Amino acid sequence: MKHPWKPSYLRNQGVLTPAQRRILREHWSSYGITLDYGTPIDWAEQFGRNAPMLFDIGFGRGESLVSVAKARPDWNIVGVEVHRPGIAWALRRVMAENLTNIRLIRGDILWLLTDFVTSPIISEMRIFFPEPWPRAPERRLVRTDTLETFANASVPGAVWRFATDDSTYAAHAKNAFNSVMYLEPIDEETRCPDRPITVYESKGQQAGRTITDLQYRYNG
């Protein structure tokens, strides 16, 4: 189905190594959720339990995803990513840590929340270091016209966390978050306490870029 938004990610899906292809082929059925259009996801069935749901959107190689899953064994952790090599990296980490509270989804988060989520389920949402799109801000994931999609899928009191090393995107996101009445800043511009320093963030720091963290509570 065609949707009105432009994708917030690069279309290049990356090249998988033979080892990455093998790990996805052999273990996706244990940790991955394959989207079936027209069929909403039964989260309790996927995880084998009901628990608070944390969505890590655009998880890269999975460092933060695995870290929070280890720190919160009583939470269901959903990682959403489009780039196949990153998904393979994350799956390898999940298996190495023997984590059972993570499920991975390959797809567009806006499509997922619009077509496969039928009721509010998100207790925490994380968007760390998304593609900044300096020349095409209309493609950024965090925009005033996408916040309603996240809000519709969030439970009252849900925490939304955002981090970027792009100053323009930081200002853009802050303006978007502050433009809606249903979000309340919490510990604004304080680092998420359980967010590890990833390889990407380390490179940004070495390049002299400032890391901005934004945190809000959804009061819908």
Choose among 35, 190, 182, 58: nearest CA to 120: 182
- Strands 53-57 and 122-128, sheet pairing: parallel
DSSP 181: T
pLDDT at 149 over 80: yes
C-alpha 144/C-alpha 177 separation (Å) is: 7
Mean pLDDT, residues 157-186 taken together: 96
Mean pLDDT, residues 83-92 taken together: 94
C-alpha 140/C-alpha 91 separation (Å) is: 26
pLDDT at 154 over 90: yes
Q: What percent of the chain has pLDDT over 70?
A: 93
Are 122 and 154 in contact, with CB atoms under 8 Å apart? yes
Q: How confident is the model at residue 2 (pLDDT cuts 50, 70, 90)?
A: low
Counting every residue written for the chain, the total comes to: 220
C-alpha 121/C-alpha 90 separation (Å) is: 23
pLDDT at 206 over 90: no
Computed on alpha carbons and rounded to an integer, the radius of gyration of the chain in Å comes to 17
Q: How confident is the model at residue 181 (pLDDT cuts 50, 70, 90)?
A: very high
Are 105 and 33 in contact, with CB atoms under 8 Å apart? yes
Domains of the chain from N-terminus onward: 49-218 (3.40.50.150)
Are 23 and 88 in contact, with CB atoms under 8 Å apart? yes
Are 90 and 58 in contact, with CB atoms under 8 Å apart? no
Q: What is the pTM assigned to this prediction?
A: 0.92
Q: Which residues pair with 57 in a beta bridge?
A: 80, 127
